[in-house]
């Protein structure tokens, strides 16, 4: 495995907050730019009810487009988010490579997001994840609101670990911890991921961090210190969960890649292509995007660390 794996979630988590629905042909154009940049995993969308999240209504069509002969990216895994068995069936039908699904560690957030308690959602997601594995698909399960909740405040570490234990007992070792509310502190991130690796040394850990309070990249550094290899980020810093109290954007992809490359990490990723995509998004939405490097331009030299 590479020392750092980039999972681009901008087309899903980045767009789900946008009121202006992006046409399918524009999503295809952005997806092509992201594929050309060399991202490892590209999340094309989520399989949710189109009336609840209109921005995701064409997710099936987007997957079908990139699963056509000659359009399937050779070195990019196409991921999709599902909330239940119906979403799983849709994803299987249109060619998802990797299914992402999860449970919130916050009872309030869980009920707002899924209409289920944490316990109910955990049982349902474990069942769906095992079905996806049985279908020969890659699966990543997550714990949302793992570092705090906008409605409830602090989330007990024991509750996060108890959800993870159920995942591991079911043979689900690819896990992601999500800072849905953006409350995480670097020390908290490093400590919690260290506990996860102690619980299961074979865990394949990902982090999904938000920059709501400006600590996104610092929290990425903390995750790196703990041994996390997979990082979920959104182009231009778009995004946020529509069902949390204060929605803030994701860690910005081009900012994260710029940070890595200044330290000599993942120089194979095409940063200019990522910047081009971010600027295209800013022009489309006709507003300033949260990311920084697409506005300032990158620093061209690496630093010996």
Provide the annotated active-site residues.
Answer: 241
230-233 vs 5-8, strand pairing mode: parallel
CA distance linking residue 253 with residue 232, whole number of Å: 8
Phi and psi for 209 in degrees, rounded to 5? -110, 145
What is the distance between the alpha carbons of residues 116 and 42, in angstroms, rounded to a whole number? 28
Alpha carbons 128 and 87: distance in angstroms, whole number: 10
Exposure b/e, 69-91, CB count within 10 A at least 16 = b: eeeebeebbbbbbbbbeebbebb
Cα dihedral value 149, 53, 114, 153, nearest 10: 10
Q: Residue 20 corresponds to which tokens in the numbers above?
A: 């202006």
């Amino acid at each position: 495995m590479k020392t750092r794996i980039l999972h681009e979630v901008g087309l899903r988590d980045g767009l789900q907050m946008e009121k202006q629905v992006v046409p399918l042909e524009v999503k295809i154009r952005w997806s092509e730019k992201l594929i050309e940049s060399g991202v490892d995993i590209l999340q094309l969308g989520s399989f949710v009810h189109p009336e609840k999240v209109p921005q995701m209504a064409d997710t099936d069509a987007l997957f079908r487009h990139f699963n056509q002969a000659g359009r399937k990216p050779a070195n990019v895994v196409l991921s999709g988010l599902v909330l239940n068995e119906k979403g799983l069936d849709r994803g299987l039908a249109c060619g998802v490579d990797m299914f992402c699904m999860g449970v919130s560690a916050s009872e309030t957030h869980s009920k707002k997001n899924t209409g289920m308690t944490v316990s109910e959602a955990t049982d349902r997601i474990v069942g769906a994840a095992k079905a996806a594995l049985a279908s020969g698909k890659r699966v990543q399960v997550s714990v949302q609101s793992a570092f705090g909740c906008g409605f409830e405040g602090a989330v007990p570490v024991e509750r996060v670990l108890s959800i993870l234990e159920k995942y591991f007992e079911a043979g689900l070792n690819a896990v992601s911890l999500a800072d849905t509310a953006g409350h995480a502190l670097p020390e908290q991130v490093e400590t919690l991921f260290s506990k996860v690796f102690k619980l299961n040394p074979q865990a394949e850990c990902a982090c999904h961090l938000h920059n709501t309070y400006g600590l996104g990249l610092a929290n990425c550094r903390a995750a790196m210190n703990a041994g996390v290899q997979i990082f979920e980020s959104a182009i231009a810093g778009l995004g946020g969960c529509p069902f949390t109290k204060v929605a803030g954007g994701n860690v910005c992809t081009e900012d994260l890649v710029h940070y890595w490359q200044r330290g000599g990490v993942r120089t194979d990723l095409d940063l200019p292509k990522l910047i081009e995509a971010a600027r295209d998004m800013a022009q489309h939405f006709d507003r300033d995007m949260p990311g920084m490097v697409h506005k300032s331009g990158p620093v061209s030299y690496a630093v010996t660390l």
